[in-house]
Amino acid sequence: MSKIQALGLDVGSTTVKMVGLDAEGEMAWHFLEQAEPLLENQIARFLERARNVTGPLDGIPLVATGYGRGLVNQATRTVTEITCHARGIYRELGHGGTLVDIGGQDSKVIGISPQGKVIDFTMNDKCAAGTGRFLENTASRLKVSLDRMGPEALSVSDEVSISSTCTVFAESEVISLIAHGVSIASILRGLHRSLVKRMVSMILTVGLTPPLMLSGGVAQNPAIRQMLEEETGQKIILPHYPQLMGACGAALFALDA
Amino acid sequence: MTIPAIPRRIDVIRTFKEQGGYVAAVLPIHYPRSLLRAFNILPVEVWGPPGIKARDGAKHLQPYVCSIVHNALSFLQSGGLDITDILIVPHTCDSLQGLGSILLDFVSPKQPVIPIYLPRGKRESDVDFFANELRSIYRQLEAITGHSPTDADLLQSIYREEAADKLLSELHRCRRNLPFSNLAFYRLLRNREHLPAETFMELAQKALAQKVDTTQDGGIPILLSGIVPEPMSLLGAISQMGGVVAADDLACCGRRLYPPGQSDDPFRRIAERILYAPPDPTRGNSIKERLEHLLQLVETSGAKGVIFYEVKFCEPELFDLPQLRQGLQEAGLPSLTIEMDLNDPLSHQALTRLEAFLEMIQ
C-alpha cells in the first residue's frame, strides 16, 4: 500500500466513511461503517484504525465533511459535503456535469463545471422522501433487504403508482396496497419510481447538464439507476466507489494543505 | 467601535403613549409612515414576530399560510398587541389580504382595523388610485383620533420621513465603511421598523459618524434578498462562515429605501414615494425590473452571489424565483434559495447550504 499523505472523513447520517490518499491523490485506503449514535466515539475509533494503517497521524492532514463534520475536533478544517462530493467525483471521472447524490438523510443535485467547480446545487433536506431513508423505511415494512429492493423492483413490469410523496404516508399507502393483494415487487417498483421522480424535479431545479453522474449509497441500487436513466433520457455514470466520493473530496482538500 | 445604544421597542411604545400619542401595529410591507405620524400615531411594524407559539392563528388560517401571518394573528389573539391602538393591514399578498378579512369579519379585535389597498404598478393612474386610498385612510384616522392635520402638517411629517429615509439610504450605501458586523448593522437598520423618524435619525447619524475611508474587510460579499432576515442569527452565521452582506433586497430593508416624492400634494407625494421605491413583487413590479435592480446592486456592491432567504409559502417571492435565478445565472451570478419558518431556529441543513454556497463563490 502506498504511503498515506492525507485523510478525508465523511460523517454522514447513515454511514461514516474515511479515505486515505497517497501523494498522487490516489485512494490508498478506505473504511466504512454504519453511523452510530455516539459519533464522537465512532470518530475516535476511525482515527485509531487510520493510525493502525499509517502509524502516527501527526503531520497527516485530515479534512472532515458530512453532517457531523463539526464533531471532528481532530480535523485540520471542515468542508461541506457539496463541495467535497464535487471534488471527489471530478477527480475520479475527470469531467463536469450533473451529480446526483442520494444519501441517507438528504439528497443533493450538484452542477459541476468542466473545470470541476460547483456552479449550482440544491438539496432535499426537509423530508425523508427522495432520500435513502425512504427506501430503508419501506424495505423494513416490506421485509425486503435493502440490497434486494432494486433487483426485486426490476423483476416485474407492473408498477403501481404511489401517490404520496411523504415517507410516512407512503408507508400507509404500501400497507393499503398489500391489503389489496398487490405484489411486493410491483409496490417496490412504484416506490422506486416515486423516489426517482422527486430526484428529477430537483435535477430540473439546477438544470440538467450532461453527463449525469450518481453517487451515494443509493447509487448501488440498480432500479434507481435504470429509472433515473428512463426519466431523464441520460446515461448514468457511476464512480468506482459511489459512497466514498465525499470522503475522497475531503481527502483531496487535505492533500492541498 | 460599537453600535449606538438602541432603545427597547416596548420602552419606545410606552414613552410615545405617555406623551399622548397613539400606536399602530402595522403588518408588512409598505404603508404611509408620514400620514400616521401626522396624526401623532407611531407605526410599529409586526414581522411575525418570530419565535412565538403560533397556536391561536391556526384556528383561522390554513397550514400553507406563511408564518408571518400565522404569528401576527396568534400574537394579536394572545394579547401581544394589546398595547396598540390601531391595526394597519396592507394588502401585500393574498395571505395578508386574507388576514385583513379575518380581522374585520371574524376576529373583531378591540383595535380598529384599517386595510390598505395597494396598486400593482406605478403608472399615473396607480398614483391617482393610491393617493385617493390615502385620503380615505386620512378620513379613517381622523375619525379614530379626532385630529385633522392640515396639508402643511402632512408635508412637514413627509419631509421628516424623507430625511430619515435619506439617512437610511446613506447607511445602506456606505455599509462596507462602517465598523459593524452583519448582525449589528441589521439590528441598527431594523430600528426603522419601530423608532420615530427623529430618534432613528439620531441613531443613524451616530453610526455614520463612525464611517471610515477604507472598506472594511468583511469577507466574501453577498447580496441578500427575501423578506426578513429572521432568525437574526443568520447574519452571525454568514459572518462566521466568512461572508458579508454587501447589499440587500430584503422586503424589510432595501426594498423600502423610499425616494423623496415630487408632488406638493401630500397624498400624491406619499403615493409617489411608496410606488417609486425599489422593485418589489408585492407592488406588481416585473421580473425584468427586479432582475435589473438585483444586477445593479451586485455591480455597486461587488457581491459575488445572491442568497434568496425566503419565508416558507411566501407566494409573491417564490413565484418570481425560477426566472430571477435563471436571469442571474445568465449574468454569471450564482444564487441560493433557503426557505425558513419564523418559528424555527436556523437549521443545520440551512447552515450547510449557506456554507456550501460561500465555498462555491469564494
**Domain residue ranges in chain B:** 9-147
Q: Cell digits for A255? A: 492533500
Contact A67 B352 (CB under 8 A): yes
Q: How many CA atoms lie within 13 A of A15 on its CB side?
A: 19
Q: Which tens digit of pLDDT belongs to each residue from A78-108?
A: 999 999 999 999 999 999 999 999 887 788 9
**A6-86+244-256 under CATH 3.30.70.20, yes or no:** no
A125 has a chain B CB within 8 A of its CB? yes
- How confident is the prediction along chain B (362 residues), in pLDDT tens digits per residue? 577 788 899 999 999 999 999 999 999 999 999 999 999 999 999 998 988 888 888 889 998 999 999 999 999 999 999 999 999 999 999 999 999 999 999 999 999 999 999 999 999 999 999 999 999 999 999 999 999 999 999 999 999 999 999 999 999 999 999 999 999 999 999 999 999 999 999 999 999 999 998 887 779 999 999 999 999 999 999 999 999 999 999 999 999 999 999 999 999 999 999 999 999 999 999 999 999 999 999 999 999 999 999 999 999 999 999 999 999 999 999 999 999 999 888 988 899 999 999 999 99
CB-based burial, A31-53: b 16+ in 10 Å, e otherwise: bbeebeeebeebbeebbeebeee
A121 has a chain B CB within 8 A of its CB? yes
- Reported as a pLDDT band with limits 50, 70 and 90, residue A141 is confident
Residue B82: how many other CB atoms lie within 10 Å: 11
CB nearest to B355's CB, from A80, A120, A125:
A80
Does the pLDDT at position A165 exceed 80?
Answer: no
CB nearest to B352's CB, from A80, A126, A207:
A80
Question: What pLDDT score does A125 carry?
Answer: 58
Of A134 and A238, the structure prediction assigns the larger pLDDT to A238
Does the pLDDT at position A5 exceed 60?
Answer: yes
Contact A117 B349 (CB under 8 A): no
Q: What ipTM was predicted for this assembly?
A: 0.84
Region B9-147: CATH code: 3.40.50.11890
Does the pLDDT at position A128 exceed 60?
Answer: no
Question: What pLDDT score does A231 carry?
Answer: 95
Segment 197-226 of chain A within 8 Å of chain B by CB: 207
Segment 95-114 of chain A within 8 Å of chain B by CB: 106
Residue B340's closest chain A neighbor by CA?
A126
- Reported as a pLDDT band with limits 50, 70 and 90, residue A127 is low
Are A97 and A200 within 8 A, CB to CB?
A: no
